[in-house]
Structure 1
Amino acid sequence: MGSHTRNVLTVKSIAASKAAKLRDGGGLWLVSKGQGRYWIFDFRFGGKRRELGLGPLHTVGLAEARQKAEAARLLVRQGVDPIEHRHGVEAIEAAQARACVKTFGQYADAYVDDAVKAGRWRGGKTEARWRNMLTNHAKAIRDKALASIGVTEVLSVLRPLWGDKQETAEKLRECIERVLDAAKVEGLRAGENPAAWKGNLEHVLHKPDALTTKSNHAAMPWARVPVLTTTLAALETIGARALEFTILNAARSGEVRGASWPEFDLAGKLWTIPAERMKGGKLHRVPLSDRAVTILEEMREKRSNDFVFPGVRAKRPMSENTMAKVLAENGGNGFTVHGFRSTFRDWVTEATAHDGDLAEMALAHAVGDAVARAYARSDALEKRRLLMANWAEYCGSCPKENKLEPAD
Structure 2
Amino acid sequence: MAKKLEKLVAKHLLKLPPAMHNDGAGLYLLVRETGSRVWIFRYRDRVTGKLRDKGLGSLNDITLAQARVEANKLRTALQTGVDPIQSHREAVQAARVKRAKEKTFGDCCAAYIKAHRPGWRNAKHAQQWRNTLDAYAADLLPLPVNEIDTDLVLSVLEPIWATKTETATRVRQRIESVLDMAKARGLRRGENPARWRGHLQNLLPEVAKVKTVIPRAALSYEDMPAFWQDLSKRNTLASLSLRLQILTATRPSEAVGARWEEIDLKAKLWTIPGERMKAGKEHRVPLSDALVTMLEAMPHRDGALFPGGGRNPTLTTDAAQNLVKAMRPGLTAHGFRSTFRDWTGDQTAYPRDVAEMALAHAIKDKTEAAYRRRDMLERRARLMQDWATYCTQGPAQSGTVTPIRKQATA
TM normalised by structure 2 equals: 0.68
**Following the alignment from structure 2 to structure 1, what is the Cα–Cα distance between the partners of residues 333 and 92?**
51
Equivalence for 1:321: 318
Q: Is the 8 A contact 1:229 1:396 kept in 2?
A: yes
Q: CA deviation at 1:373?
A: 4.3
Equivalence for 2:355: 359
**Following the alignment from structure 1 to structure 2, what is the Cα–Cα distance between the partners of residues 160 and 139?**
13
Distance 1:396 1:332, change over 3 A: farther
Distance 1:225 1:145, change over 3 A: same
Instruction: Spell out the pairing of 1:76-95 with structure 2 (5 A cutoff).
Output: none
Distance 1:92 1:389, change over 3 A: farther
In the alignment of these two chains, the number of paired residues is 325
Q: CA deviation at 1:371?
A: 5.2
Instruction: Spell out the pairing of 1:106-125 with structure 2 (5 A cutoff).
Output: 106-116=107-117, 119-125=118-124
Equivalence for 1:254: 253
Distance 1:314 1:164, change over 3 A: same
Alignment deviations for residues 155-184 of structure 1 (CA, whole Å, 9 cap, x no partner): 333345445555433322221111112223
**3-state SS, counterpart of residue 153 of structure 2:** helix
Alignment deviations for residues 29-72 of structure 1 (CA, whole Å, 9 cap, x no partner): xxxx96x8711299xxxxxxxxxxxx989769xxxxxxxxxxxx
Equivalence for 2:343: 347
**Following the alignment from structure 2 to structure 1, what is the Cα–Cα distance between the partners of residues 45 and 308?**
80
Distance 1:166 1:100, change over 3 A: same
Q: CA deviation at 1:365?
A: 2.9
Q: Which amino acid aligns with 2:100?
A: A
Instruction: Spell out the pairing of 1:166-315 with structure 2 (5 A cutoff).
Output: 166-205=165-204, 207-208=206-207, 213-215=212-214, 217-298=216-297, 300-301=298-299, 306-313=303-310
Equivalence for 1:390: 386
User: Gaps spanning 5+ residues in structure 2: where?
Assistant: 1-41, 51-76, 83-88, 397-410
**3-state SS, counterpart of residue 139 of structure 1:** coil
Equivalence for 2:136: 137
**3-state SS, counterpart of residue 271 of structure 1:** strand
Equivalence for 1:79: none
Alignment deviations for residues 275-326 of structure 1 (CA, whole Å, 9 cap, x no partner): 332233322211001122232233x14x576321223448721122111111
Alignment deviations for residues 179-221 of structure 1 (CA, whole Å, 9 cap, x no partner): 1122233343333322233444455555555555442644444
Instruction: State, as a whole percentage, how many aligned pairs show the same letter.
Output: 41
Q: 2:333 aligns with which of 333, 337, 359?
A: 337
Equivalence for 1:40: 48
**Following the alignment from structure 2 to structure 1, what is the Cα–Cα distance between the partners of residues 45 and 164?**
66
Equivalence for 2:23: none
Q: Which amino acid aligns with 2:136?
A: H
Distance 1:267 1:197, change over 3 A: same
Q: Is the 8 A contact 2:258 2:304 kept in 1?
A: yes
**Following the alignment from structure 1 to structure 2, what is the Cα–Cα distance between the partners of residues 164 and 204?**
17
Equivalence for 1:99: 100
Distance 1:368 1:102, change over 3 A: closer
Q: What's the C-alpha RMSD, in Å, of the aligned pairs?
A: 3.6
Equivalence for 1:4: none
**3-state SS, counterpart of residue 286 of structure 1:** strand
Q: CA deviation at 1:251?
A: 0.6
**Following the alignment from structure 2 to structure 1, what is the Cα–Cα distance between the partners of residues 78 and 218?**
73
**3-state SS, counterpart of residue 328 of structure 2:** helix
User: Gaps spanning 5+ residues in structure 1: where?
Assistant: 1-32, 43-54, 61-87, 401-408
Q: Is the 8 A contact 1:37 1:57 kept in 2?
A: no
Distance 1:124 1:216, change over 3 A: farther
**Following the alignment from structure 1 to structure 2, what is the Cα–Cα distance between the partners of residues 330 and 362?**
26
